[in-house]
């Protein structure tokens, strides 16, 4: 009998190479001592990273992105936690439509949302385009991700712990701070990191809503017009790639940590 050849591992390897191969070339070319990203490599150098650190426009854009990302991560996680608690702890009328409305930014193209927010901000409310408008748009994108992470966490632990706290005389607020929040903390931290990464890397909405205050992705895209600044752009892209990967992996590790999510036997 002939052995059946399993092509699934080969397909998985080829798919990963196709998906991540070009991304992994980015750090390689950032160390290349040449203006253009071509083979063969001419030599190893750190000039692009030195140029990146001493560029005032880049530093200003980085500060703008960090300011927006930190604020967005806190606001999105707060809204996501409240929404996740409402969905998992209470029987809400119209839960389906409410969930669908919150998750809508996940399926609507970013450019459609960006144009809609631009029209609302300028034509309806006459709001000037600043980092505040960018942050508002990013919150709209990040809340669904935050809510999904926190829902998975809140549905995982034993709800009888909250009931026991109430039976012992604690108020709903103190039950939240002493029982619910500590148990949900890994999910909260994971939500903060994920929202931070999404906001830091988001380009389309920042392009439409930023006005004169450019964020880091907008700065990065603008540098592609100048060939002599390509090495610095590659170094910046490599740095963003590494930092984003670390944050995402760390947030996933935190999400999986915490108390056991299964009820003890006999309860």
| Percent of the chain's residues with pLDDT above 70 | 83
The pLDDT value recorded for residue 72 is: 93
> 126: which DSSP letter?
-
Q: Is the peptide bond before 40 cis (omega within 30 degrees of 0)?
A: yes
The pLDDT value recorded for residue 74 is: 93
The pLDDT value recorded for residue 71 is: 92
158 close to 263: Cβ distance less than 8 angstroms: yes
The pLDDT value recorded for residue 3 is: 59
The pLDDT value recorded for residue 157 is: 66
The pLDDT value recorded for residue 44 is: 79
Fold of 41-256: MetI-like fold (1.10.3720)
CA 76 to chain centre: 11
Q: Is the dihedral of CA 25, 26, 30, 34 positive or negative?
A: positive
Interatomic CA distance for residues 14 and 31, integer angstroms: 26
The pLDDT value recorded for residue 183 is: 76
Rg for the chain (alpha carbons), in Å?
A: 23
The pLDDT value recorded for residue 37 is: 67
Which residues does 113 contact at the CB level (< 8 Å), separation at least 6?
A: 105, 137, 140, 141, 205
Interatomic CA distance for residues 228 and 224, integer angstroms: 9
**SS3 at position 32:** strand
Of 246, 237, 225, residue with least CA distance to 49: 237
83 close to 77: Cβ distance less than 8 angstroms: no
Which spans in the chain are helix H? 8-30, 47-53, 56-89, 95-103, 110-119, 131-154, 160-167, 172-175, 181-201, 204-209, 216-222, 230-256
Note the pTM of the prediction, 2 decimals.
Answer: 0.74
The pLDDT value recorded for residue 216 is: 83
Interatomic CA distance for residues 61 and 129, integer angstroms: 16
- pLDDT beneath 50, residues of the chain: 1, 259-267
């Amino acid at each position: 009998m002939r052995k059946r050849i399993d092509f699934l591992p080969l397909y998985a390897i080829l798919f990963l190479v196709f998906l991540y191969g070009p991304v992994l070339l980015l750090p390689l070319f950032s160390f290349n001592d040449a203006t253009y990203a071509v083979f063969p490599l001419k030599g190893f150098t750190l000039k692009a990273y030195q140029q990146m650190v001493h560029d005032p426009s880049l530093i200003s854009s980085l500060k703008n992105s960090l300011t927006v990302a930190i604020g967005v991560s806190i606001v999105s996680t707060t809204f996501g936690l409240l929404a996740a608690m409402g969905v998992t702890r209470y029987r809400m009328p119209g839960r389906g439509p409410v969930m669908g409305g919150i998750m809508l930014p996940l399926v609507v193209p970013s450019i459609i949302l960006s144009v809609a927010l631009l029209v609302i901000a300028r034509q309806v409310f006459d709001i000037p385009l600043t980092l505040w408008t960018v942050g508002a748009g990013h919150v709209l994108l990040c809340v669904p991700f935050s809510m999904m992470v926190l829902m998975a966490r809140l549905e995982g632990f034993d709800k009888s712990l909250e009931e026991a706290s109430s039976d012992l005389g604690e108020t709903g607020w103190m039950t939240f701070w002493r029982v619910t929040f500590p148990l949900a903390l890994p999910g909260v931290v994971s939500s903060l990191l994920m929202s931070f990464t999404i906001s830091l890397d988001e380009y389309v909405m920042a392009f439409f809503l930023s006005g004169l205050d450019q964020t880091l992705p907008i700065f990065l895209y603008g540098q592609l017009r100048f060939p002599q600044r390509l090495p610095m752009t590659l170094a910046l892209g490599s740095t963003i790639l590494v930092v984003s990967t670390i944050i995402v992996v760390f947030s996933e590790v935190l999400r999986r940590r915490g108390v056991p999510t299964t009820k003890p036997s006999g309860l």
